[in-house]
A and B are shown apart, each in its own frame.
Chain A
Amino acid sequence: MSEVPVFFLHGLAYAGLLFLVSAGLTLVFGMMNVLNFAHAAMYMLGAYFSFTLLRATGQFWLCLLVCPLFLFIIGALVERFLLRRVHTYGHLHELLLTFGLAYIMTELVKLIWGNFPLAVNIGGFLGQTVEFFGMIYPIYRIFIFGCAVIVGLSMAAILYKTRLGIILRAAVNDSEMVNALGFDVPLVFTGVFAFGAALSGLAGVIAGPLLTTYPGMAHEILIDAFVVIVVGGFGSLGGAVVASLLIGELQSFGVLLFPKLSLALVYLLMAAVLIIKPSGLFGEKQ
């Protein structure tokens, strides 16, 4: 089985992408109880911003920094002026709002950039391949996994090791009390939503060179992101990590071992998890 290490790496790289896409989604759900249907559209915006910035400057690293910032601002505006207004009416309104936003963003992208695939070419160091243990492997795929690890670790550090994290977690549990203690809870929630949007933007920037930048990309990734957070458990960051790795490796080795079942395997996993533990691997009981 000389293929095993290569397929393991394939799985890791795809798991990295899955985690990057689903981290923001599960964070926003865990903290705010909002299922953001526009998450994938924001991911697409990230990819398109990155395309334009890359064309203008040629600096991919700049895209990695600036595009999430754009999405942060968009996320903050959406939360402050739209989501907060419908919050009092309950989940259905939030769902409808983000659903509508996703449509608007997709149509805007078609208007501005056109309804055809765009080329995102990074070249340079990240476009090369490395050779180790007799394998040739694209650096970019390793880079994706590296980004996911960095993002995952920093999110965990912020949430569990900083004062900000304490406030965040407290605000989720008892927002009135935190408010009474003098913290601006609505601002905290704006920050969380904006951070989730920034994460989706980052995922879009990173996905650009691996996948195709086109208006259908949001729709394509949304299902995968949902599968990850359903399997991992809604709102659980650790769950998203484990589910991404499971699904990434399952897809990769599925192709190697059960080629006829490779697509179904992921859904079989989801079905199995839902039967045994309906709240997901790390989800809390509702």
Chain B
Amino acid sequence: METKKCICGFLAAALMFALPAFAAAQGTIKIGGTEPLSGTFKDIGERYLEGVQYAAKVINESGGLLGKKVEVVPIDSELKPDVATRKAQALILKDEVKFFCGGTGSSVGAAMAQLAEKENVIMFTYGMDAASMTGEKCNKNFFRPGGSTDGRSFALAQMIAKKGYKAVGIIGQDYSFGHEAVAAFKKKIAQISPSTKIVAEIFHPAGTKDYAPYASQLIAAKPDVIFTPNWGNDLTLLLKQGRPLGMKQKVFSYYINDEVMISSLGDDSLIVGDMGAEIYMLNIPTAKNKEFIEKFHKDKGYYPTWLRGKSYIATMFWAAAVKKAGTTDVAAVIRAWEGLSYDGPAGLWTMRACDHQAQVPYWAVEIVKENKFFKHAFEGPVTEIPAKDVEVPCAETGCKMGK
């Protein structure tokens, strides 16, 4: 028994040492994907990771990156900043991983951004949207090839102003994300449509179960339309419980084209006619998007809906930066990414040097019943909101990038 154990232990140890050496010999570029891969938000983390992994596959099939294979290392963040950074730190020390990405939880992102600066690696996000991450909390090792609360709120404010609605009811989750989103929306709507009134501004705890009192208050304020940054269950229940109470207004929401949320409603009539703005949608009418969706669907058997599409494009953008740098040296990649443009499935994305926030077009959409992707309601035709229309000028971001 003892000898057996001993041999096993030795073999395991040998394997542990041999594997990284083997990988290095082959020449791989590793990228750590920090997502919640267990717990309540597992489904979101997995969809993000699928996009990153698909991007790696596409890169590898076309000859790799700088002649090397891209390997995605999944890291279960458990949606906890300390867990994500501890696991990432281990990868940095053990495997010399230089690149990290993630899409879920701005708190995880903020901690990862700090770690990236300290260890001189690169962290990028496609889904951690709190504006402050490329604002006062920015640093040179952190990039956001994705949307932000500012961009989304500005886009939705424009849509509401353009349609000439005069009374807006606001409902949002009572935590930093909800407050940032609502503040940005109010700022923009006051600028572009001063005659539009905010008739209700309601915050509720995230994860509220009974929305009836909130919905009744919204209804009583008689808004023309409703704006909400709510997502996931907080959007589902607002619609599911609010509609039967007489909440008939069009809802303008951050993440309206979430196919899981729509199917969990179970009743298309609750959401048809509602609108949203996103940086990636299946219905974006570019040739590149059509090609991407076709190939993805052929490969996987399902569609690269918003989360997957966003993380795919962001990863391809990162790869373009590494390619331009011609090396995996972190300082060189940072320099290469600043100012770089990537023309992908969602239009032209440009990485701004002053705050590392990608300037991206948003796509406005209305949810319709008939669509070619799902049996339930989904995206209708989309219209582009140009990146310059939702831009936050460098001077206003609050970002002071250290050199």
User: Which residues of A come within 8 Å of B, CB atoms?
Assistant: 3, 6-7, 10, 13-14, 17, 114-121, 127, 129, 136-138, 140-141, 210-212, 214-216, 219-221, 224, 251-256, 259, 262-263
B233–A214 contact, CB under 8 A?
A: yes
Q: Is A116's CB under 8 angstroms from B216's CB?
A: no
Could you tell me if A115 and B43 are in contact, using CB atoms closer than 8 angstroms?
A: yes
Contact A255 B213 (CB under 8 A): yes
- Whether A3 lies near B220 (C-beta < 8 A) is yes
B233 (CB) vs chain A CBs: closest residue: A212
Given contacts A117-B260, A121-B266, A255-B217, contact A141 B212 (CB under 8 A): yes
Chain B proximity of A72: nearest CB distance (Å) = 26
**B202 and A116 contacting across the interface, CB-CB below 8 Å:** no
Contact A13 B42 (CB under 8 A): no
Question: Given A137-B245, A214-B233, do A10 and B213 touch, yes or no (CB 8 Å)?
Answer: yes
Knowing A7-B216, A255-B217, the reply to whether A119 touches B263 (Cβ < 8 A) is yes
Is the CB–CB distance between A117 and B236 below 8 Å? Answer: yes
**Within the assembled complex, what's the spacing in Å between the Cα atoms of A221 and B210?**
12
Q: Could you say which residues of chain A place their CB within 8 Å of the CB of B233?
A: 117, 212, 214, 216
Other-chain contact of A256, B205, B217, B237, B240 (Cβ < 8 Å): B217
Q: Which residue of A lies closest to B267 (CB)?
A: A121
Interface readout for B229-254 with A: 1 if CB under 8 Å, 0 if not? 00001001100110011100000000
Residue contact B212 to A116, C-beta cutoff 8 Å: no
Interface-central residue, B174, B213, B244, by most chain A CB under 10 Å: B213
How many residues on chain B are close to A (CB under 8 Å)? 32
B207 touches A212 (CB 8 A): no
User: Hey, what's the 0/1 contact readout for B200-223 against A, CB within 8 Å counting as 1?
Assistant: 001111010110111011001000
Best-surrounded residue of B212, B216, B217 (most CB of chain A within 10 A): B212
Task: Tell me, rounded to whole Å, the shortest Cβ–Cβ distance linking B179 to chain A.
Answer: 13
Contact call A252/B264, Cβ cutoff below 8 A: no
Within the complex, which residue of B43, B204, B241, B245 is in contact with A136, where a contact is CB–CB below 8 Å?
Answer: B245
| Contact of A216 with B40 in the complex, beta carbons under 8 Å | yes
Residues of the A chain whose Cβ atoms lie less than 8 Å from the Cβ of B66: none
Beta-carbon nearest neighbor of B214 in chain A? A255
CB within 8 Å for A116 and B264 given contacts A10-B212, A220-B209: yes
Give the shortest distance, in Å, between A257 (CB) and chain B (any CB).
10
CB of B198, distance to nearest CB on chain A (Å): 15
Q: Is B265 an interface residue (CB 8 A)?
A: yes
Say whether A220 contacts B207, CB under 8 Å.
Answer: yes
Main secondary structure of the interface of B (DSSP, over half): helix
The answer to whether B245 touches A251 (Cβ under 8 A) is no
CB–CB A211/B209 < 8 A: yes
Closest beta carbon of chain B to A128's beta carbon, Å? 9
Docked pose: A11 CA to B263 CA in angstroms: 28
Having A138-B245, A251-B213, one finds 7 other A-B pairs with CB under 8 Å, namely A116-B264, A117-B236, A119-B267, A129-B244, A212-B233, A212-B264, A215-B40
In the assembled complex, the CB of B210 is this many whole angstroms from the nearest CB of chain A, namely 5
Q: Please provide the 5 A-B residue pairs with the shortest distance between their CB atoms, ordered closest to farther.
A: A119-B266, A117-B264, A255-B213, A121-B266, A138-B244
A16 to B135, CA, bound (A): 46
Closest chain A residue to B44 by CB distance?
Answer: A116
CB pair A14 B202 closer than 8 Å: no
> Which of B207, B217, B244, B260 contacts A116, CB < 8 Å?
B260
Q: Which of B43, B212, B220, B265 contacts A14 (CB 8 A)?
A: B212
Q: Which residues does chain B contribute within 8 Å of A114, judged by CB atoms?
A: 43
Once the chains are docked, how many angstroms separate the CA of A127 from the CA of B264?
A: 16
* B213 shortest CB reach to chain A, Å: 4
Residues of A close to B236: CB separation below 8 A: 117, 212
Give the nearest-CB partner of B47 in chain A: A116
Kindly state the separation between the CA atoms of A9 and B375 in the bound complex, as whole angstroms.
Answer: 36
A286 CB to nearest B CB, Å = 31
Q: Which residues of B contact A138 (CB under 8 A)?
A: 244-245
Query: B220 contacts which chain A residues (CB < 8 A)?
Result: 3
Mask of B360-400 contacts with A, CB within 8 angstroms, 1/0: 00000000000000000000000000000000000000000
CA distance A228 to B213 in the complex (A): 20
Between-chain CB contacts (< 8 Å), 28 pairs: A3-B216, A3-B220, A7-B216, A10-B216, A14-B209, A14-B210, A114-B43, A116-B43, A116-B264, A117-B264, A119-B266, A121-B266, A121-B267, A136-B245, A212-B233, A212-B237, A212-B240, A214-B40, A214-B233, A214-B264, A216-B233, A251-B213, A252-B212, A255-B213, A255-B214, A256-B213, A259-B202, A262-B205
